[in-house]
Structure 1
Amino acid sequence: MTASARQIRGAAARKLGRRAEVLAALWLMAKGYRILGFRLTTPLGEIDLLAQRGGVLAVVEVKQRATIEDALDAVTPTQRDRLRRAAAHLTAHRAGLRALETRLDLIALSPGKAPRHLADAWGADLSQGGRA
């Protein structure tokens, strides 16, 4: 594959990723969440979406794949660890977020299917120091 073909493919993937994040945000808002940020970059990693509902701060990873199952399987343990570290950094540096229960959520998307939101996708309440 040539460099220009890789650039075109990469640009298309980024565009699809942004579209998936917007769809995920709309899905969360329909469920009563307030979106606090998109593509938040920390020194420890990027957070696709940051959302709040009541006393819960959801650090949301968005994955779009050919099937919902592929999207659900797409987040590796390394990525989950990076999300945990990024979430901890963000909450440590934003006083308004410290009192919230922080968790990692996943929104899985695939063509022709409704989004699937897994709250606390890996089973750990980050504010309590749990492991997933």
Structure 2
Amino acid sequence: MNSYESGLFAEFMAKMYLRMHGFHIVKSRYITGRNTGRAEIDIIARRHNLMIFVEVKRRPNVDTAWAAITPKQSLRLRRAAEGFVAKTNWNGDARFDAILVCGLHVYWARGAL
């Protein structure tokens, strides 16, 4: 499995995990950015009055997965989320999460970014 396929697999696992926890997947691989610099949100999901913006990383262990989420990447995620909120007129709560996929284990860090 190449890195692209590995990333798709991790996103699939993350979406299934969120669905198991009552979330509806609103968007997957949401890309924004002509005016703000290109940014991608791996998963946007909603449960009741909460919208979450999720960065997904697949690595061999949790430490390397955390290290792969840079401050620059976190800032881009926030900017893309601001654009999505403005575009959709979302008035509910919002949160930035990370889902780390290590082997077949899924770690969900709520409010991590």
TM-score by length of 2: 0.91
Which of 48, 51, 58 is the equivalent residue of 1:57?
51
Q: Which structure's residues are more often helix, by fraction?
A: 1
Q: How far apart are 1:72 and its partner, in Å?
A: 2.1
Query: Which structure has the larger Rg over C-alpha atoms?
Result: 1
In 1, Cα distance between equivalents of 2:13 and 2:92 = 25
> Residue type matched to 1:79 in 2?
Q
* RCO comparison, higher one (Cα < 8 Å, 6+): 2
Which of 113, 118, 129 is the equivalent residue of 2:109?
118
Give the percent of matched residue pairs that are identical in Structure 1 and Structure 2.
Answer: 32
Q: Which structure's residues are more often strand, by fraction?
A: 2
Question: Which 5+ residue runs of structure 2 have no aligned equivalent?
Answer: none
Which of 66, 69, 76 is the equivalent residue of 2:70?
76
Question: Which 5+ residue runs of structure 1 have no aligned equivalent?
Answer: 1-10, 123-132
In 2, Cα distance between equivalents of 1:53 and 1:72 = 25
- Cα deviation, 1:79-129, whole Å, max 9, x if unaligned, reads 00000000000110112xx212111100001114x200011113xxxxxxx
CA RMSD after TM alignment: 1.3
TM-score by length of 1: 0.78
How many residues are matched? 109
3-state DSSP class of the match of 1:59? strand
